A and B are shown apart, each in its own frame.
Chain A
Amino acid sequence: MENHRCNGDGKESFKPPPEIKFTKLFVNGQFVDSVSGKTFETVNPATSEVIAKVAEGVEADIDLAVKAAREAFDHGRWPRMSGFERGRIMSKFADLIEQNIDELAALDSVDAGKLLASGKTVDIPHCLHILRYYAGAADKIHGETLKLAGEYQGYTLLEPIGVVGHIIPWNYPSTMFLMKSSPALAAGCTMVVKPAEQTPLSALFYAHLAKQAGIPDGVINVVNGFGATAGAALCSHMDVDAISFTGSTETGRLVMEAAAKSNLKTVSLELGGKSPLIIFDDADVDMAGEICVAGSRVYVQEGIYDEFVRKAAESAKSWVVGDPFDPNVQQGPQVDKTQFERVLSYIELGKTEGATLLTGGRRCGDKGYYIEPTIFTDVKEEMRIAQEEIFGPVMSLMKFKTIEEAIEKANATRYGLAAGIVTKDLNTANRVTRSVRAGTIWINCYFAFDPGCPFGGYKMSGFGRDLGMHAINKYLQVKSVVTPLHSSPWL
């Protein structure tokens, strides 16, 4: 604890929070109060203080937003523009985001506890890149002409699916907003976005910039609110054609159920994970140490296990936890009280289950939701800390002997979002790559996200892919067109 430079001690923030300009709902191109007039508080996780009161959307607000999106889709310009025109407007949107990087990064920092420095230099530039990627993709959505068995001319048209609902989480408010909305915009869809109730602020700013860029009214609507009310209304709405959800596996199940019970809307889910990171004896231990901060289940081969444990503990102890506005800080607070308490309870659980607490394990300071980087060793597969998603700075270290054992253990989970491999051996890398059931495999790297690289889960981590050209498919319908050919010289 004394090794952490913790700043959750009630001191002044490193920098004053940004001015909050938008707190209403964004429906049909206008910022409006909720139908009920109700609001909810959004809190700065670094100080537990209220930042702003935000309009609270419920079913009635979702209805209005869907109606606007429906109108914009059925009769508006957006789906009737050429892909190129949509791409031009999206490029303009990206330029506006670029001009407002500082303010957007500050909003995520104050609202979600994101590190300000990396928001400015990594997260928001990454968002821009995603938006520009899909701006360039908007005129590259190709159907196919088909060689058919009979004397027919056949082809496919890829058409926008219609009104899309996006429900996004609080962990990467900006990235998630653009990761969901950009491919849907490129496809020609209109949408209703429900941001997480913990982090509503940057989404409203993006909606404002989208309008400035020339995205027609009704194409992007943002309704803040809670999952049980606004989220549920969106998922069961009869006029929403597709829903794209990122969040927990439990909530994903509800989303899918609501879709099944309403209009069978297309669902894509990007859910939880318990992603394994497998470190082999031949690994560069220092590199493995840097990468391992990301893995929630870290499997280390027995030959380097002891050395790795020592270095991991050192590394965790030197990790700087504190005010996300401080550029030297590596870890900010957890997003809210619920998450904070949930993480601490998992740490307690780990101890009771018999795992060894190597380092960390407590909150940092007495204000805000800071937690020490925590490492457990002697973790067994059947322990809940090895099976369930903790979503906090808690790593479980486990030892393995053979490659077969590592593969088996890595796959012994209901999740399959991602996996990491650290090895210098090409055959090991290739074999584990093919053998682990996960949507993304990072070899000697981790969190190497790229706009062109699809991301999504196997098994109960969900289905469908975000990012890359794959993501556009979620927002397209396929129409097959067939007509007879008479006396064609070739087929």
Chain B
Amino acid sequence: MAARRLACSLLSRSGAACAPSLSRSVFGGDRIHGSASGVLRGFSTATAVEEPIQPPVQVNHTQLLINGQFVDSASGRTFPTLDPRTGELIAHVAEGDVEDVNRAVVAARKAFDEGPWPKMTGYQRSCILYRFADLIEKHNDEIAALETWDNGKPYEQAAKAEIPTVARLMRYYAGWADKIHGLIVPADSPHHVQVLHEPIGVAGQIIPWNFPLLMFAWKVGPALACGNTIVLKTAEQTPLSALLVSKLFHEAGLPDGVLNVISGFGPTAGAALASHMDVDKLAFTGSTDTGKIVLELAARSNLKPVTLELGGKSPIIIMDDADIDQAVEVAHFALFFNQGQCCCAGSRTFVHERVYDEFVEKAKVRALKRVVGDPFRKGVEQGPQIDEEQFSKILHYIKSGVDSGATLVTGGDRIGSKGYYIQPTIFSDVEDKMKIAKEEIFGPVQTILKFKDVNEVIQRANATRYGLAAGVFTHNLNTANTFMRALRAGTVWINCYDVFDAAIPFGGYKMSGNGREKGIDSLKNYLQVKAVVTPLKNPAWL
């Protein structure tokens, strides 16, 4: 289950500042030093050949977490989790399969059916979520180091943006726990109608490798705020950080069985969870192809409702009246952030013909400055891709771009001979029918297309099976409003990109999935709605 996903966090609130200042995260630019893209070397002299930096963290948890206990898998089997910088072993991790999922579901079922978790008041649950957020903050650097080691993302990005955002998300959901209100609805006849929002039960959650802990927070936060219990399957590429933070969650007072974490593979553990008859709800983030399988398994088993956060081929549209320097910077960030491994990556950059040449030239200059290297090194903007499979797939897409006649502006090859580093790559003169303009590459490959007018670009931007996000750059209010309404996508960023707040809902139109994460909308995924109706005898009014 090559789960992946985006999430990104953060980044420029305004769009004015971007990649070099991963800085301007949700948490305020003042916390983070905008290190220095200009100071370090660009990818052409990449640092990947140097000896990898020893991660400042130990791996202490590699077992499955079931019913509050770290346990071996039923089979005793393990699988290796690898360092994307070298392809070498970090640790052997217990491999969950059908029997382990069964045990985890039994624990979650019991924790739901017998309590105490769903029987607590929202306030009591919120106190535990707040304490968990405090512990995340306390262990920030350790967690970030583990995240970088297992995933390959820049340590500064993990430590200064992503892990603080995990704490922020938990606090957001803690605040919801005691504010889940149903409506009293009017009836035509003399009846009293109450709408109760109740936890849905045992939630199965399958998360990707691109933002392991952000995806953990997006899933676990709303489910727990609403009083559900959880069996979470992490991506096989990145099992480590979820085990560490789940241990902290128990330290914060989470009762046993409420959050169970299974490491393992999609076809085995993931499929067992998706088809389990005692799982009441399933949330999946990953590829569209896997999403289809998940939905099918739910249909074939107990018809559990499914929310899906899937792939994208998100357009960024740059009008001729845009601030081109800002647009170049934001579009660069929108694609290359997190090694291009974002489901909402701005992977089709549509540029108005009047500014096309200028844009391409400036995008090239920016890509050449991108600092690629060991993600533990200060100032590095881009680490290795997650694994061999993704690495090969991206190189294959680059070849396809060249073969189909697109112009390779810069990049196009791997860096060094060890690990999964790829040069920041740009194609221009890309046409809609090319594979690189249609399929999700999930790597550092920017494709730049040309357009003439608004109606044309709306039609082309919407001509995709995806609908996750879109970006628009223009100073014209009417143009912005037209795009805002016309684009079929779950998020439209205007003169910015990748602004992710806890309260902003995120999700897809079309085959980018269904349901929304974050914001008040995310609670709906984890609540059942119960209407309670009883007659009223001679009330003074209705």
Q: Which residues of A contact B (CB under 8 A)?
A: 84, 87-88, 91, 129, 132-133, 135-140, 142, 153, 407, 426-427, 430-431, 433-435, 451-452, 469, 483-490
- Let me know if B247 is at the binding interface, CB within 8 A: no
Structural contact, B478 and A484, CB atoms closer than 8 A: yes
Asked if B524 is at the interface of the complex by the 8 Å CB criterion, the answer is no
Report whether B538 and A431 are in contact in the complex, using a CB–CB cutoff of 8 Å: yes
Chain B, range 475-505, C-beta contacts under 8 Å to A: 477-478, 481-482, 484-486, 502-503
Top 3 A-B pairs, shortest CB-CB distance: A136-B175, A434-B539, A435-B540
Q: Do residues B486 and A91 form an inter-chain contact, with CB atoms below 8 A?
A: no
Q: Which of A84, A136, A483 contacts B126 (CB 8 A)?
A: A136
Bound Cα distance A274, B171 (Å):
41
Please determine whether B539 and A139 come into contact, CB atoms closer than 8 angstroms.
no
Q: Is B176 an interface residue (CB 8 A)?
A: yes
Q: B176 contacts A129, CB within 8 Å?
A: no
Q: With A136-B178, A407-B540, A427-B537 in contact, do A483 and B481 touch (Cβ < 8 Å)? A: yes
Q: Are B535 and A427 within 8 A (Cβ)? A: yes
Report yes or no: A430 in contact with B534, Cβ–Cβ below 8 A: yes
A142 contact from B123, B520, B540, Cβ within 8 A: B520
Instruction: Give the residues from 176 to 212 in chain B that come closer than 8 angstroms, CB to CB, to chain A.
Output: 176-179, 181, 192
- Given the complex of chains A and B, what is the CA–CA distance between A427 and B540 in angstroms? 13
B89 touches A (CB below 8 Å):
no
* B211 smallest CB distance to A (angstroms): 20
Nearest Cβ on chain A to B304's Cβ, whole angstroms: 28
Given contacts A87-B171, A136-B175, A488-B485, 11 further A-B contacts (CB under 8 A): A136-B126, A136-B174, A136-B176, A137-B179, A139-B502, A431-B536, A434-B192, A434-B540, A452-B179, A483-B477, A489-B486
A-B contact pairs, 11 of them (CB 8 A): A84-B171, A84-B172, A88-B171, A133-B178, A153-B485, A407-B540, A430-B534, A434-B540, A435-B541, A484-B478, A486-B478
Over the window 124-143 of chain B, the binary record of Cβ atoms lying under 8 Å from chain A Cβ atoms (1 yes, 0 no) is 00110010000000000000
Instruction: Write out the residue numbers on chain B whose beta carbons fall within 8 Å of the beta carbon of A489.
Output: 485-486
Q: Please determine whether B502 and A84 come into contact, CB atoms closer than 8 angstroms.
A: yes
- Are B482 and A487 in contact, with the CB atoms below 8 A? yes
B348 contacts chain A at the CB level, 8 A cutoff: no
Q: Which residues of A contact B126 (CB under 8 A)?
A: 132, 136
Residue of A139, A142, A469, A484 ringed by the most chain B CB atoms within 10 A: A139
Which of B485, B535, B536 is the one whose CB lies under 8 Å from A490? B485
Given A87-B171, A136-B178, A431:B539 Cβ within 8 A? yes
Chain A residues closer than 8 Å to B176, beta-carbon distance: 136, 140
Q: Is the CB of B482 within 8 A of A137?
A: no
| A154, chain B: closest CB distance, angstroms | 11
User: Which of B168, B181, B537 contacts A430, CB < 8 Å?
Assistant: B537
Nearest-neighbour CB distance to chain A for B60, whole angstroms, equals: 30
A138 / chain B contacts, CB cutoff of 8 Å: 175
Inside 8 A of A431's CB, which chain B residues have their CB? 536-539
Contact between A140 and B481, CB atoms less than 8 A apart: no
Which of B122, B192, B481 is A485 in contact with, Cβ under 8 Å?
B481
Q: A153-B481, A431-B536 are in contact. Are A136 and B179 (CB under 8 A)?
A: yes
In the complex, A435 Cα to B537 Cα: how many Å?
11
Chain B residues with Cβ under 8 A from A137's Cβ? 175, 179
**A488–B502 contact, CB under 8 A?**
no
CB distance from A459 to the nearest CB of B (A): 14
Given known A-B contacts A153-B481, A426-B534, A435 and B175 have beta carbons under 8 A apart: no
Chain B's interface size range is: 35 or more
Q: How far is the CB of B194 from chain A (nearest CB, A)?
A: 11
**B478 to A132, Cβ gap below 8 A?**
no
**A233–chain B nearest beta-carbon distance, Å:** 36
Say which residue of B123, B482, B486, B541 sits within 8 Å of A129 (CB atoms). Answer: B123
**Which partner residue on chain B sits nearest A153 by CB separation?**
B481
> Could you tell me the distance between the alpha carbons of A193 and B440 in the complex, rounded to whole angstroms?
58
Contacting B481 at CB < 8 Å: which of A135, A434, A486? A486
Enumerate chain A residues within 8 angstroms of B171, measured Cβ to Cβ: 84, 87-88, 91, 136
Contacts of A84 in B (CB 8 A): 168, 171-172, 502
Known A88-B171, A434-B536; contact A139-B178, beta-carbon cutoff 8 A: no
Assess whether B482 is in contact with A486, with CB atoms less than 8 Å apart. yes
Chain A residues positioned under 8 Å from B478 (CB to CB): 484, 486
Q: Is the CB of B538 within 8 A of A488?
A: no
User: Quick one: closest A residue to B168, CB to CB?
Assistant: A84
Q: Which residues of B contact A490 (CB under 8 A)?
A: 485
Tell me, rounded to whole Å, the shortest Cβ–Cβ distance linking B25 to chain A.
12
Residues on A with C-beta less than 8 A from B536 are: 427, 430-431, 434
> Min CB distance, A352 to chain B, in Å?
35
Complex: A87 Cα to B123 Cα, angstroms: 15
Q: Of residues 294 to 329 in B, which have CB atoms within 8 Å of A's CB atoms? A: none
| Option from B175, B177, B477, B482 in Cβ contact (under 8 Å) with A139 | B175
Chain B residue numbers with a CB within 8 Å of A486 are 478, 481-482
In the complex, which residues of chain A have a beta carbon less than 8 angstroms from the beta carbon of B130? 91
A139 touches B485 (CB 8 A): no
Cα distance, A135 to B503, chains bound together (Å): 15
How distant is the Cα of A103 from the Cα of B75 in the complex, in angstroms? 58
Interface string of B275-288 (1 = CB under 8 A from A): 00000000000000
Rounded to whole Å, the gap between the CB of A94 and the closest CB of chain B is 10
Are A140 and B540 in contact, with the CB atoms below 8 A? Answer: no
Instruction: Pick the most buried of B122, B168, B176, B179: most chain A CB atoms within 10 A of its CB.
Output: B179
Taking the nearest CB of chain A, how far is it from the CB of B482, in angstroms?
A: 6
- Shortest Cβ distance from residue A40 to the other chain B in the assembled complex, whole angstroms: 38
Query: Do A488 and B481 touch across chains, with their CB atoms under 8 A apart?
Result: yes
Chain B residues contacting A136 (CB-CB under 8 Å) are 126, 171, 174-179
* A485 & B175 in contact (Cβ 8 Å cutoff): no
| A139, B540: Cα distance in complex, Å | 39
What is the distance, in angstroms, from B468's C-beta to the closest C-beta of chain A?
19
For residue A136, which residue of chain B has the nearest CB? B175
Residues of chain A contacted by B534 (CB below 8 angstroms): 426, 430
Contact B179 A435 (CB under 8 A): no
Query: A residues within 8 A CB of B172?
Result: 84, 139
Asked if residues B482 and A452 are in contact (CB atoms below 8 Å), the reply is no
8 A Cβ contacts from B250-267 to A: none
Closest to B458 in A: A489
CB distance from B124 to the nearest CB of A (A): 10
Report B-chain residues with C-beta under 8 Å of the C-beta of A407.
Answer: 540
Residue of B nearest to A129 (CB): B123
Contact code string B90-127 (vs A, CB < 8 Å = 1, else 0): 00000000000000000000000000000000110011
Docked-complex contact A139 and B481, CB < 8 angstroms? no
Q: How far is the CA of A91 from the CA of B133 in the complex (A)?
A: 12
Q: How far is the CA of A451 from the CA of B177 in the complex (A)?
A: 13
Inter-chain CA distance A146–B174, complex, in Å, is: 29
- Nearest to A404 among chain B residues (CB) is B538
- Residues in B neighbouring A129, C-beta threshold 8 A: 123
Assembled-state Cα–Cα distance A483/B175 (Å): 33
Q: Which of A133, A426, A430 has the most CB of B within 10 A?
A: A430
Complex CA distance for A170 and B503, rounded to whole angstroms: 38
Please, which residues of chain B bring their CB within 8 A of the CB of A435?
Answer: 539-541
Partner of B520, one of A140, A426, A427: A140
A140–B503 Cα distance when bound, in Å, is 8
Name the CB-closest residue of B to A434.
Answer: B539
B175 A87 Cβ-Cβ under 8 A? yes
Which of A433, A451, A485 interacts with B178 by CB under 8 Å? A451
Q: Which of B397-427 contact A (CB under 8 A)?
A: none
Nearest CB of chain A from residue B275's CB, rounded to whole Å: 36
> In the bound complex, how far is the Cα of B271 from the Cα of A197, in angstroms?
68
